[in-house]
Structure 1
Amino acid sequence: MNTQRTRRDVWIMAISILAIAFGLLTVKEGGTVLFGGDAARAAAGHYVPFVLWFNFLAGFAYVVAGAGLWWRQRWAARLAIAICAATLLIFSIFLFHIGSGGSWEQRTLFAMILRSGVWLTIAGIASHCILRSQALAN
């Protein structure tokens, strides 16, 4: 039994489950604010619409990426890298928004830090365990 392969399988399973769970939670939370009415929007405070819409739509991509990673698909590893890059881009635009004096919620800052960290981790593991190992096998 190849211990290195088994270890990779565990990591891929873990990030797959994380991506799917994170995606479902993101869609639920974002959808509640976007489509839940005035009370939901008021409870969200000074949310930043472009960040909210990005995160809501990205949640669907998280689920797709997680499912593809579960099946060790190269496209899913590339999708994870793209999600990571897009998240970092939106985060930097959000930071510019803050610096420009725009209204924002502190929890949005913490959420974007968390999202960036999660997707840096998922993209890194997917790249190492799927893209790199498949390239070495060829």
Structure 2
Amino acid sequence: MKKTILLVFLLLLGLVTLFMSSSVIFDWFRIREKEGNYVPGIVWANLVCAILYLIAAYGILKNQTWAKMPLIISLIILVLAYIGLFIHINNGGLYETKTIGAMAFRIGVTAIFLFITTKILKK
């Protein structure tokens, strides 16, 4: 049951993130203008993490121990991007306030995904 719930949330987050970040980068459906002062480094980090979430979901589905690695890499990318966001802000760069909370949320959720994946794959 935990595995199914994890897979559903991991796939949902991965697919929604893939759609939203690629929409901002490639300006699909005019989403870029709706995002306001987005930080390109954050959007690219989210795009890469979306792909890694989907890879991790596949690995979890197949009960592969390597499924933790994409989540570890995602967590590292997100933390580095978060640090980069604060550097960007301190240098006077434009940003949306919601980005700070969204990145903290994404880091926390990714850490939870990694924790649950580690527990599930040990069995």
TM-score bucket of the superposed structures, by smaller chain: 0.7 to 0.9
TM-score (norm 1): 0.79
What is the match of residue 110 of structure 1? 101
- 1:32 equivalent to 2:41? Answer no
| Aligned-partner SS, 2:92 | coil
Q: Kindly report the root-mean-square deviation, in angstroms, between the aligned alpha carbons of the 2 structures.
A: 1.8
Uncovered stretches (5+) of structure 1, i.e. residues with no partner: 1-9
Matches within 5 A, 1:1-138: 10-36=1-27, 39-130=30-121, 133=122
What is the deviation of 1:118? Answer: 0.8
| Aligned-partner SS, 1:103 | coil
CA distance in 1, matches of 2:107, 2:97: 16
Decide whether the 8 Å contact of 1:16 with 1:69 is kept in 2: yes
Structure possessing the higher radius of gyration over alpha carbons: 1
Uncovered stretches (5+) of structure 2, i.e. residues with no partner: none
Decide whether the 8 Å contact of 1:31 with 1:56 is kept in 2: yes
CA distance in 1, matches of 2:116, 2:5: 10
Count the aligned residue pairs: 123
The aligned amino acid for 2:64 is Q
What is the deviation of 1:19? Answer: 1.1
Identity among equivalent positions (%) equals 26
- Which range moved further: 54-63 or 20-29? 54-63
